[in-house]
Each structure stands twice: as C-alpha cells, then as structure tokens.
Amino acid sequence: MHRRAGLILLALAVFFAALSPLTRWYAFPRLAKIPADQYQDMVLVAKDATLLDYGTMTERKVPQVTIVQTLKGNVEASERIERTAGRDVVVWDGLSYVQGPDGEMVSKIPERYIFDAHTQEPVHARGEMVDGDPVRREGLEFKWPFLTEPRDYEYFDAQARITAPIHYKGTQDFRGVEVYYFEQTIPWTEVPFPRIMPVEGITRETVAKTGTTRWYTTVRKFWVEPVTGAPVYGEEIHKEELRGGTLLGDREKVTAFAGHVKMREDYIDHTVDLVTSQRVVVLLMTSYLPWGFLGLGLLLLALALYVEARGRRARGPGAEEPVTSEPVTA
C-alpha cells in the first residue's frame, strides 16, 4: 500500500516538476499572443496648441486639439495572411483622427499594421500602409513585445514612414506600476501631406503643385509596463511646419501644428487598470505557475520519499536489503 502511494506521489512529483519549465519555455511563447479581434481606442489632447488656419494660411493659438486613435483587429485579413505567412498574425486597421477646438476635422490618417501575434515583429504583406501609401515597417509600433527588455528598440514613425531607435531611459514608477521609460526623437524631416486635407478642394496633389512642403519633428515618450509590453502612458512634443512654395506667399515657413500631446486623464486610469490585470495573466505563465509547479513537485517528491521510508520501516529491518545476484553486462 505504502509502496503504491509512494510511486503515485513520485509520478505526480515528476509531472509537476516537468510542467514548470514546459509552462515557461514551451507553452508561454506559444499561448501568449495579441488577440486578432482586439478593438481599442485612445484619446490624446494637446492643450494650448498652435494650429494652422487653412482658410487664411496663418497659425493661431487654440485651447485644445484632440487626437482620437482607434485600433481594430481585422480577423479576416489576419486569417488570410496567416495562410501564407505560416504563423499567427494580427492585422490592425487604425485611424488617427485629429479634431480642432471647434470639433472640425484637422486630419484623418488611416493605417494598416501587420505583425506577429507573439513577438510583435512586423509581417510584410499586401495592404500594409500608412494613409494609403504602401510601407514596409521595421521595428515596433504601438506596443512592445511581452517581457520587454531594458534596452533600445527600433520604432516605426508613421508620419515620416521611417524606423528609428527608441531609447530606453530608465525604470520608473508610474501610478504604482513599474515601467520602462522610452524616448525617441525624430529630427525635422520632410513628410507627405495627408490625403484628406481639412479644406475641401485642397488635395495632396494640388499642394504639391505650389511647391510647399510639410516638415515634422517629434519627441515621442512611452512608459511601458515590461511584463505585458503595453504602454501605460504616452506623450509627444509634436511640431509641424509648411515650408516654401507659393502657398505661403512671401513667408519662408508657417507652423501647421505645435503642441504637447498627452493621454487624456480618464484613458490613463483605464489603461493602467487594463494593463495591471493583463500583467497578472502573463505573470501566471511566466512566474506564478512555473514556480508553483516546481514547489509542488519538490513537495510531492519529499512526500514520496517519506512514504517509501515509512513503508520500509513498517516492513522491518533488512526488508529492502539488496539481494545479491549476478551482474548483468550491458
């Protein structure tokens, strides 16, 4: 009876001890992924911003500019790409909608971002674009990988359509959450005009004929929760200028937009709550379960040895003395 119990305990000990590394290094990389059907929105505001009045082509101070950013997982497109890519893919159709102080549209830029659901590495497929222009992303956008490391990453800038380093600048505490702070500076760069302009009749093509160009610089800041790789907060010090051409008359340049863009307070709270709950799920697979299984395995092994030792004592001394036999050659 003791012997059978000891063997069952031993089997369970090995079962749980084996589950520990299997959960962390086999199951976690395969099960942890961004869901293909995710939908999320974000509101950012720039208080006391500068905005171009396209009617008079002069810059003006405005109390607030609002940016509404939506990301929507396109399940059909991801399934189509997965068939040829041979891995789990997420397709995010996004829209950055910028609204002026009177509720008028300032710009509206759609994009399609395709990436590996597990690693967040970009996947290149037809349809990858920013504002209708085909792009080939390198690096990250919007989200960092699970188990983010304290190091520099490459980050895709959708305005300039370029990838540049985003630097790790230290670990901080953000509203009770340990985060990695990242910062990227995009120097003044010429960027395309949006396809949809705020004034009817003006298009990217008609502006191009005037010789006026659009320039942009930004300092992008992200506070990223490292376990989930999700940013809990973001800011951008963003400036845009129109330069040269007949559109500006005798002026060399005019500010199209300048503002310090920050996440709206209610969205910060919402994001912190969301990331904190998702962090527990990831920690379950990377830490709580593996360590728990290992501890349970060791406990069961100790119990198996104890049961076996008790069994031997009960069977009396010498019960398990080795019986001499001829050695077997292998």
**What is the binding site for other proteins (CB under 8 A)?**
3, 7-8, 10-16, 18-19, 22-23, 26-27, 30-31, 33, 35-37, 39, 41, 43, 66, 68, 70, 72-76, 78-79, 93-95, 97, 99, 105, 108, 110, 266-267, 270-271, 320, 322-323, 325-330
- Residue 305 makes CB contacts below 8 A (sequence gap 6+) with 6
Smaller CB distance to other proteins: residue 187 or 317?
A: 317
Is there a contact between 118 and 88 (Cβ–Cβ < 8 Å)? yes
In angstroms, the CA 219 to CA 236 distance is: 6
Query: Measured from the CB of residue 329, what is the shortest distance to other proteins in angstroms?
Result: 5
Query: Measured from the CB of residue 90, what is the shortest distance to other proteins in angstroms?
Result: 10
Smaller CB distance to other proteins: residue 54 or 267?
A: 267
Smaller CB distance to other proteins: residue 141 or 241?
A: 141
Query: Measured from the CB of residue 255, what is the shortest distance to other proteins in angstroms?
Result: 23
Smaller CB distance to other proteins: residue 208 or 302?
A: 302
232, two tokens = 């809990």
How many residues belong to the chain?
A: 330
In angstroms, the CA 88 to CA 93 distance is: 17
Q: Distance of CA 53 to CAs 56, 252, 293, Å?
A: 6, 17, 63
Is there a contact between 71 and 142 (Cβ–Cβ < 8 Å)? yes
- Residue 166 makes CB contacts below 8 A (sequence gap 6+) with 140, 152, 153, 154, 155, 182, 183, 184, 220, 222
In angstroms, the CA 38 to CA 276 distance is: 17
Smaller CB distance to other proteins: residue 68 or 248?
A: 68
Query: Measured from the CB of residue 31, what is the shortest distance to other proteins in angstroms?
Result: 6
Query: Measured from the CB of residue 151, what is the shortest distance to other proteins in angstroms?
Result: 28
In angstroms, the CA 324 to CA 196 distance is: 91
- The closest of 152, 149, 186, 185 to 169, measured between CA atoms, is 152
Smaller CB distance to other proteins: residue 122 or 297?
A: 297
Query: Measured from the CB of residue 15, what is the shortest distance to other proteins in angstroms?
Result: 4
